[in-house]
Structure 1
């Protein structure tokens, strides 16, 4: 089963082994619905989740002392793919978009999505083109089809978008 990165441990908190998490999801409250997570290849059971200044604070059942969790600082938190939340129609996780081939409606291959930026109102796909990177806004005006099974995104670029 695939593991999905959902957070980064940025620090410890208090003396009882809590960890301060930087959420790598759109929903910071996402951690409340989880019973277990992975750090590297080891599974841990979540005992408690609370929030402090919009940061999730996680306490594992396996640890009760700050000295036991110091080793986790700067490590990533992963979940099983089965623990993903349901998305609305035509919504995708970033990990699903990365690696897709981007083609125009005319069949011209533009490149592979290497990153997804979230600067504001909509995401922007960073496409590794043959000569340079292209920034494609993830809006219906440009994105005509996303086919995960076939591994591609079809776009209808406007003049200047790919220059």
Structure 2
């Protein structure tokens, strides 16, 4: 089985005609366009789904899948993640990264001192914030901005930062 990446979680059904309410776990607006294919993992089996309906309602994506025209058809999908395969990943611009490329990277100062490992990424607004797990110390929050993050080498799983005063305290 190839690598799979979560793009949404089905939180509920919507109406009686087979729509599902999806919590989006992707920054790519085109991920849920009509005609796109998604994968659902249910009981260790993969279910291929083709989107034939999409709309936004109260901050959630409402999706309808080809061949699933009744609430009884999609009720079983509640709580499951919608995924894409590795070959469906979109090419990124320079200085853009997928979360899975950043999480578990080691964080170092420009002088080479080791800080910790990125364990989570928060998206509170203007820029992402990387949560760094430090051994025997509190986690540190690193904003992903050019003034602080100096180099990201995903192949070496290494991030180099130059923290502003007080960031690591």
State the TM-score, normalized to the length of structure 1. 0.91
The counterpart of 1:140, out of the listed 143, 146, 151, is: 146
Structure 1 gap ranges (5+): none
Aligned length: 163
Q: CA deviation at 1:30?
A: 2.6
Q: Which moved more, 1:51-60 or 1:11-20?
A: 51-60
Q: Distance in 2 between matches of 1:32 and 1:47?
A: 8
Q: CA deviation at 1:5?
A: 0.7
1:43 is aligned to 48
**Conserved 8 A contact 1:34-1:83:** no
CA distance change for structure 1 residues 132 and 54 in 2, over 3 Å: closer, same or farther? closer
State the TM-score, normalized to the length of structure 2. 0.88
Q: How does 1:71-150 map to 2 (within 5 A)?
A: 71-130=76-135, 131-150=137-156
Q: CA RMSD in A?
A: 1.6
Q: Distance in 2 between matches of 1:108 and 1:33?
A: 48
Q: Distance in 2 between matches of 1:114 and 1:145?
A: 18
Q: Distance in 2 between matches of 1:92 and 1:45?
A: 26
Q: Distance in 2 between matches of 1:61 and 1:25?
A: 22
Q: How does 1:23-62 map to 2 (within 5 A)?
A: 23-32=24-33, 35-40=36-41, 41-62=46-67
CA distance change for structure 1 residues 128 and 110 in 2, over 3 Å: closer, same or farther? same
User: Residue 149 of structure 1: SS of its match in structure 2?
Assistant: coil
Structure 2 gap ranges (5+): none
2:71 is aligned to 66
